[in-house]
Amino acid sequence: MDQSGMHGDRRLPSTDAPSLAERIRSEMESFTPSEKRAAHLLLSHYPFAGLDTVAEFASRAGISAPSVLRFVTRLGFSGFPDFQKHLREELEAQLLSPLAKASPSDKGQGAPALASFAEAVIGNLRATVENIAPAEFEAVVTLLSDPRRHIHFTGGRFTGALARYAESHFRIVRSHVDFIEGQPALWRDRMVEIGRRDVIVAFDIRRYQEDVTALCETASRQGATVVLLTDPWLSPIARVARHVLPAHIVAPSNWDSSAGLLLLTEALVASVTKRLWDTAKPRMEAVERLRNERS
Amino acid sequence: MDQSGMHGDRRLPSTDAPSLAERIRSEMESFTPSEKRAAHLLLSHYPFAGLDTVAEFASRAGISAPSVLRFVTRLGFSGFPDFQKHLREELEAQLLSPLAKASPSDKGQGAPALASFAEAVIGNLRATVENIAPAEFEAVVTLLSDPRRHIHFTGGRFTGALARYAESHFRIVRSHVDFIEGQPALWRDRMVEIGRRDVIVAFDIRRYQEDVTALCETASRQGATVVLLTDPWLSPIARVARHVLPAHIVAPSNWDSSAGLLLLTEALVASVTKRLWDTAKPRMEAVERLRNERS
DNA sequence: CAGGTTCTGAAATTTCTGATACAGCTTTTG
DNA sequence: CAAAAGCTGTATCAGAAATTTCAGAACCTG
């Protein structure tokens, strides 16, 4: 349902100005380590990082002033003021042509493996958001914000990492949070204490894993509430799940992309944190304190 | 160089920007003749005219340098640098706003919670791709595609999950892949066999974790090649890293978003899989066969 | 592991910019 | 029209910023 030629039309006019940023990117590999640090700082806050003084720039990049000077000299400028002048002019030109803002990254040949992959992932995220009912999302937030519930995260061989990611955040925001390994041998005995007050949040995408399904079915049978994050074709777990949040996962790769699942996870973490802020804040501070003590 | 209290806030001129330009327009009447000339120049090339030197500005406005100084003083700035700083910040805020502008529906907070979060994440992904040199990315792909190398993934308390995610994929594509827990006690003894042929892929974002840094430094000292996936502020690991891939992580949440890191990870997996396809395909089939047997 | 090369930062040096004092000019006002 | 007040520019200075130097450190390379 998406595009043939990767969002084909984009007016190439802008300026055929190679844009300093682009040049830096393409020459990145030829830079020395400290030049790379300078380059990264500049690109990450382009072009504002370069408008400060040499000293400021150097300190923010974590290198010395002379290294900064060498960096701009290497880029072909006669000195730092010359470099800044170029940045200002480029910025002015760019601001005057509103449309030029779009990424000029499609100039290269078929090389942008990363860029085209990113576009596909972004498409997935958009599609994911569109296909989820806000009410469903909110219902899950409410469920996970209930302090009386016990939350268990689990997932398959790839999605297990996402479950861990979720668990590592929720653990800090609230209590009664844990991670369950997918292998039956590891959770069978824990099932005795799973009941009505428990919530299982399962991650499962195609090549659905039988053991995760089994876990959810067992938990459901004992009265637990199951939340499922899956792909649009729905894991069999959907049959026992109270809430289902599907994410688009197809990418130009031999593998599926979990970015949509991560998006949902992070959005849930953000919303629950906000909802529980009164209790979450002291908790987070306490965790922080404990971490610092240990050093 | 970081922040107090959970980094929730990022300082920027933010909302109610009266914009210096507006104020100048409204006070124009009260200016002296030469101040008016300065004001007109500034407004006609706002704000770039103000980013030059005093002398340049004075000359372009057809007045003397001291008049320019008096002008900015009258506007309430402590000096010319102060004035320029304000212009830069205003400009930066304005240029960055297009992203915030994306979600015009901030009225309630029911539905848009997910949607606006998604927009922010998408912005991060775009910015991440923009700031990575294709050559750098390709270099990492090449490194990870070398069958003679041994690849170790590691990460911090949150990013560790991403390292696991990476490991679970690479493990299938190629051999000599593993995951290292961040705690020093768990890796100290493994370090004896880390050497020149090893590659450490570390995930580390702000609230950089000392144990992960220590691991990378130790590995680096023993000749291993370090690849770092981090945020734009660069983990201290960057010091010893051969390759650095920074991802934007700021989201409308109390937490940082790892979506950019996941994007990079998946893109690396996709590229390496393609590059090693001849050997990866049989491997993947074999893995599949083994999994099916077990049932 | 030595010898050579490259890279890097501390400190000295130079350049240049922003700031100020003061005198001349213009405008205002009685 | 004269005196006062207000502007403005020239000349100068102080200080900050960029640049260069140089020695030590890191990194190759044979």
Q: The CATH number of the domain where A141 resides is what?
A: 3.40.50.10490
Question: Which of B133, B258, B270 lies closest to A28 in CB terms?
Answer: B133
Question: To 10 degrees, what angle do helices B134-144 and A113-130 make?
Answer: 90
Helix residue spans in B156-258 (DSSP H): 160-173, 184-187, 210-221
Q: What is the distance between the alpha carbons of residues A286 and B115, in angstroms, rounded to a whole number?
A: 31
For the sheet with A198-204, list strands across it.
Answer: A177-179, A150-155, A198-204, A225-230, A243-246
Is the C-beta of residue A79 closer than 7 Å to nucleic acid chain C?
no
| DSSP code at position A272 | H
Closest CA to A21 of A150, A79, A107, A97: A107
What's the N-to-C CA distance of chain B in angstroms? 53
Is the C-beta of residue A51 closer than 7 Å to nucleic acid chain C?
no
Q: Residue B132 pLDDT > 80, yes or no?
A: yes
Q: What is the distance between the alpha carbons of residues A248 and A198, in angstroms, rounded to a whole number?
A: 28
Same domain, A88 and A224: no
Tell me if A11 is assigned to some domain. no
Mean pLDDT, residues A222-236:
90
| For A262, nearest residue in chain B (alpha carbons) | B259
Least confident of A246-250, A253-257, B37-41, B109-113: B109-113
Q: How confident is the model at residue A7 (pLDDT cuts 50, 70, 90)?
A: very low
Q: What is the distance between the alpha carbons of residues A235 and A238, in angstroms, rounded to a whole number?
A: 6
Q: CB-side exposure of A161: number of CA atoms within 13 Å? A: 25
Same domain, B190 and B74: no
In DSSP notation, B48-95 reads: GGGGS-HHHHHHHHTS-HHHHHHHHHHTT-SSHHHHHHHHHHHHHHHH
Q: Hey, are the CB atoms on B244 and A26 less than 8 Å from each other?
A: no
Q: How confident is the model at residue A5 (pLDDT cuts 50, 70, 90)?
A: very low
Same domain, B162 and B224: yes
Same domain, A31 and A173: no
| pLDDT, greater one: B279 or A8 | B279
Same domain, B93 and B145: no
Domain count, chain A: 2
* Residues facing residue B83 across a β-bridge: none
**Residue in A67, A254, A274 to test binding to B, most B beta-carbons within 10 Å:** A254
Predicted pLDDT at A295: 55
| DSSP code at position B221 | H
Tell me if B62 is assigned to some domain. yes
**Which of B46, B80, B97 lies at the terminal end of a domain, its last residue?**
B97
Distance of CA B118 to the CA centre of its chain: 17
Predicted pLDDT at A109: 34
Q: How confident is the model at residue B40 (pLDDT cuts 50, 70, 90)?
A: confident
Q: What is the distance between the alpha carbons of residues A56 and B66, in angstroms, rounded to a whole number?
A: 27
| DSSP code at position A57 | H
Mean pLDDT, residues A192-208:
92
Residues in chain A: 295
Q: Quick one: CA dihedral A21, A25, A26, A28, positive or negative? A: positive
> Residues B137-154: pLDDT tens digits?
988 999 999 999 999 999
Q: How confident is the model at residue B112 (pLDDT cuts 50, 70, 90)?
A: low
Tell me if B10 is assigned to some domain. no
Other CB atoms within a 10 A radius of the CB of residue B140 amount to 25
C-alpha dihedral (B11, B12, B16, B21), degrees to nearest 10: 150
Same domain, B172 and B272: yes
Same domain, A223 and A250: yes
In the predicted model, what is the mean pLDDT of chain A?
84
Amino acid at site B20: L
Q: What is the distance between the alpha carbons of residues A153 and A219, in angstroms, rounded to a whole number?
A: 12
Predicted pLDDT at A294: 57
Q: Hey, are the CB atoms on B113 and A36 less than 8 Å from each other?
A: no
Distance of CA A44 to the CA centre of its chain: 17
Q: Are A21 and A58 in contact (CB under 8 A)?
A: no
Predicted pLDDT at B106: 38
Interatomic separation, CA of residue B208 and C1' of nucleotide D23, rounded (Å):
34
Same domain, A231 and A195: yes
Q: Map residue B209 onto helix, strand or coil.
A: coil
Q: Are B88 and A51 in contact (CB under 8 A)?
A: yes
Peptide bond into B47 cis (omega under 30): yes
Q: How confident is the model at residue A1 (pLDDT cuts 50, 70, 90)?
A: very low
Domain that holds residue B28: 20-97
Is the C-beta of residue A81 closer than 7 Å to nucleic acid chain C?
yes
User: Which residues lie below 8 Å from residue A82, measured CB to CB, with a gap of 6+?
Assistant: A72
**Residue B89's CATH number:** 1.10.10.10
Distance of CA A10 to the CA centre of its chain: 27
Tell me if B104 is assigned to some domain. no
Same domain, B39 and B168: no
Residue A84: enclosing H or E segment and its boundaries? helix A80-96
**Which of A40, A68, A101 lies at the terminal end of a domain, its last residue?**
A101
Same domain, B65 and B131: no
Q: Count contacts between A and B (CB, < 8 Å).
A: 206
> Residues B62-106: pLDDT tens digits?
889 999 999 999 898 989 999 999 998 888 776 654 333 333 333
| pLDDT, greater one: A263 or A102 | A263
**Which of A71, A101, A131 lies at the terminal end of a domain, its last residue?**
A101
Q: What is the distance between the alpha carbons of residues B158 and B83, in angstroms, rounded to a whole number?
A: 41
Tell me if B107 is assigned to some domain. no
Q: Residue B124 pLDDT > 90, yes or no?
A: yes
Mean pLDDT, residues A209-216:
91
Q: What is the distance between the alpha carbons of residues A75 and A78, in angstroms, rounded to a whole number?
A: 9
Residue A40: enclosing H or E segment and its boundaries? helix A33-44
Same domain, B53 and B143: no
> Residues B189-240: pLDDT tens digits?
888 888 889 999 999 998 888 889 889 988 988 889 999 999 877 777 887 8
* Residues facing residue B152 across a β-bridge: B178, B200
Q: What is the distance between the alpha carbons of residues B174 and B166, in angstroms, rounded to a whole number?
A: 12
Closest CA to A91 of A80, A104, A100, A78: A100
Q: What percent of chain B has pLDDT over 70?
A: 86
Distances (CA, A) of B81 to A57, A177, A231, B64, B239: 16, 52, 54, 17, 32
| For A42, nearest residue in chain B (alpha carbons) | B131
Q: Quick one: CA dihedral A36, A41, A44, A50, positive or negative? A: negative
Q: Residue A108 pLDDT > 60, yes or no?
A: no
Is the C-beta of residue A131 closer than 7 Å to nucleic acid chain D?
no
Q: Are A214 and A239 in contact (CB under 8 A)?
A: no
Q: How confident is the model at residue B7 (pLDDT cuts 50, 70, 90)?
A: very low
Q: Residue B180 pLDDT > 70, yes or no?
A: yes
Tell me if B7 is assigned to some domain. no
Q: Map residue A237 onto helix, strand or coil.
A: helix
| DSSP code at position A288 | H
Q: What angle do CA B222, B224, B226 make, to 5 degrees?
A: 130
Tell me if A31 is assigned to some domain. yes
The CA distance from B271 to the nearest CA of chain A, in Å, is 7
Same domain, B92 and B233: no
Tell me if A90 is assigned to some domain. yes
Least confident of A135-139, A290-294, B114-118, B183-187: A290-294
